[in-house]
Amino acid sequence: MTQPFEKVRALTGMKDILPHESAAWESLEEIVREWLALYGYRNMRTPVLEHTRLFARGIGEVTDIVEKEMYSFRDSLNGEQLTMRPEFTAGMVRATIEHNLLYDRPQRVYCMGPVFRHERPQRGRYRQFHQIDVEALGFTGPDVDAELIVMLARLWQQLGLKDVRLELNSLGQADERAAHRQALVEHLEKHIDVLDEEARRRMHTNPLRVLDTKNPAMQEMADSAPRLFDFLGAESRAHFDGVCTRLQEAGIEYRLNPRLVRGLDYYNLTVFEWVTDRLGAQGTVCGGGRYDGLLELLGGKPAPAVGFAIGMERLLDLWQQSGELPAAVECDVYMVHQGEEAQRKASLLAEELRNVGLRVVVHAGSTGFKSQFKRADASGATVALIIGQDELTSGQVSVKWLRRQDDEARPQQETLPFGDVAETLKTRM
Ligand code: HAM
């Protein structure tokens, strides 16, 4: 006797994308590919699994991601320490170095797919989620920094998104951050009594992140902390001004947010986030910035770089709210039939319709007309074609328009000779 099997469910925070949802994903992916092509970006696909040390080094040991959110394990076959990618940037930089992609020219590249972080799931926050990650490698900016932001504004506009705001900051260069860090640590030490446990733990390892706190008791301390922006030298300021000027010229509004530090350690100079109030607590749709030190940090020749990643679940949620999401349809034409001969005729005709590019579902299963029409309607098809005994005898297919009829004068139901159906539907749909 077979053992009863306890039903298996998906892992917490890892969602199935079901057939009725996938149309939106596919439309988004298509729009995104075309949008990226407009700016000369090319796709690359890196492995889901990488050596753990790539992310530890790349993202930074003292970050939430590396400290507590990575899905890491030891490969039982060869003992290697591996991690499911928690983001794309480190892997893309690794691939760039490994394949010497920057040897003769800079690169504009993107990746799209699942990434993994062991976070507490809630709306807009999952353990497997998807990113569109775009990287411009080998450009010093600030023109490219601004172009990336302008590009994002175009995408929001194309999707009809409302209420997405841009926040901008500069993290300067390493020596400027070091001077600021010293001043910041002194400030934190002066206010040690209001620091929570996490802040005390981090004040010497990653003091900038302490300012990112949501703890209300620490807000005043954070507000009065020395600002990194005030420690920037002339070059860093000029870079930042260069970005701002270009954004102004492009008509893009932004807010300077001196507290914007991002949760990954590789950034310098420009950092930015696009945020919205429409998604509840997880309102950051996109984050990115410049990371000129990462290639060298990961063993490559020094080269500047800048990029961003969009959270696809959050973007889709916003797109849905905008009401501009295209309707999910299974097919253009649904074929209803009665009797075996009609069924065979329907299958042959369906092939003809597919030859002219129409999406066709031939009803299969139960035979009642009523249930077939119900299915036809639920499929989202524009038109139902009906083949029964009468149609076989007369050589005419019955055509029933279920949706959208551009030509108001056209009857809702009509008949067409078998031989004319494909061409007629092709021109009318
Ligand atoms: P990030 O800010 O960690 O940046 O993630 C980018 C976006 O991914 C976030 O703005 C958010 O929309 C989405 N996201 C993050 N965590 C989750 C989650 N648990 N569930 C759903 N969505 C999430 C990066 O990953 C950098 N690699 C971006 C970058 C590229 N910087 C330079 N190049």
Query: How many domains is the chain built from?
Result: 2
24 and 61 assigned to the same domain: yes
Cβ within 8 Å of residue 100, ≥6 positions away: none
Distances (CA, A) of 292 to 127, 135, 394: 29, 12, 74
Q: What DSSP character marks residue 227?
A: P
- What is the pLDDT at residue 411? 72
349 and 293 assigned to the same domain: no
CA of 115 from ligand 1 middle (Å) equals: 9
- What is the pLDDT at residue 405? 60
CA angle at 51 for the pair 47 and 52, rounded to the nearest 5° = 120
Q: Is the pLDDT of residue 207 over 80?
A: yes
Cβ within 8 Å of residue 102, ≥6 positions away: 96, 137, 138, 295, 300, 301, 303
Q: For residue 266, give the nearest of 239, 293, 228, 232 by alpha carbon.
A: 293
The predicted-structure confidence for 336-380, as pLDDT tens digits, reads as follows: 999 999 999 999 999 999 999 999 999 998 778 899 999 999 999
Mark 362-374 as b/e (b = at least 16 C-beta within 10 Å): bbeeeeeeeebbe
Q: Is the pLDDT of residue 141 over 90?
A: no
244 and 278 assigned to the same domain: yes
Q: Where does the pLDDT of residue 409 fall: very low under 50, low under 70, confident under 90, or very high at 90 and above?
A: low
Q: What's the number of CA atoms in the CB half-sphere (13 Å) around residue 420?
A: 11
28 and 73 assigned to the same domain: yes
Q: Where does the pLDDT of residue 127 fall: very low under 50, low under 70, confident under 90, or very high at 90 and above?
A: very high
- What is the pLDDT at residue 408? 62
Q: For residue 43, give the nearest of 159, 137, 135 by alpha carbon.
A: 135
Where helices occur in 323-408 by DSSP H, the ranges are 340-355, 369-378, 389-394
- What is the pLDDT at residue 259? 84
Position 242 in a domain: yes
The predicted-structure confidence for 79-123, as pLDDT tens digits, reads as follows: 999 999 999 999 999 999 999 999 999 999 999 999 999 999 999
Average pLDDT rounded to a whole number, residues 371-395: 94
pLDDT more than 70, % of the chain? 98
CA of 23 from ligand 1 middle (Å) equals: 23
Position 411 in a domain: yes
Give the number of the atom of ligand 1 that is nearest the alpha carbon of residue 307.
33
Q: Is the pLDDT of residue 213 over 90?
A: no
First to last CA, the chain: 56
More confident residue, 217 or 240: 240
CA of 133 from ligand 1 middle (Å) equals: 9
- What is the pLDDT at residue 53? 97
- Give the structural domain span for 278: 19-172+232-322
Q: Is the pLDDT of residue 11 over 70?
A: yes
127 and 23 assigned to the same domain: yes
The domain spanning residue 393 has which CATH number? 3.40.50.800
Residue whose Cα lies nearest atom 23 of ligand 1: it is 311
71 and 130 assigned to the same domain: yes
Q: Is the pLDDT of residue 404 over 70?
A: no
Chain mean pLDDT for the chain: 94
Write out the H or E segment, with its range, that includes residue 28: helix 19-38
Give the C-alpha separation, 112 to 332, whole Å. Answer: 29
Q: Give the CA diameter of the chain.
A: 94
* Residue 286 Cβ contacting ligand 1 at under 6 Å: yes
The predicted-structure confidence for 42-90, as pLDDT tens digits, reads as follows: 999 999 999 999 999 999 998 899 999 999 999 999 999 999 999 999 9
Residue whose Cα lies nearest atom 22 of ligand 1: it is 311
The domain spanning residue 77 has which CATH number? 3.30.930.10
Q: Is the pLDDT of residue 327 over 70?
A: yes
Q: Where does the pLDDT of residue 244 fall: very low under 50, low under 70, confident under 90, or very high at 90 and above?
A: very high
CA of 411 from ligand 1 middle (Å) equals: 52
Position 75 in a domain: yes
271 and 149 assigned to the same domain: yes
269 and 128 assigned to the same domain: yes
78 and 26 assigned to the same domain: yes
244 and 159 assigned to the same domain: yes
- What is the pLDDT at residue 208? 81
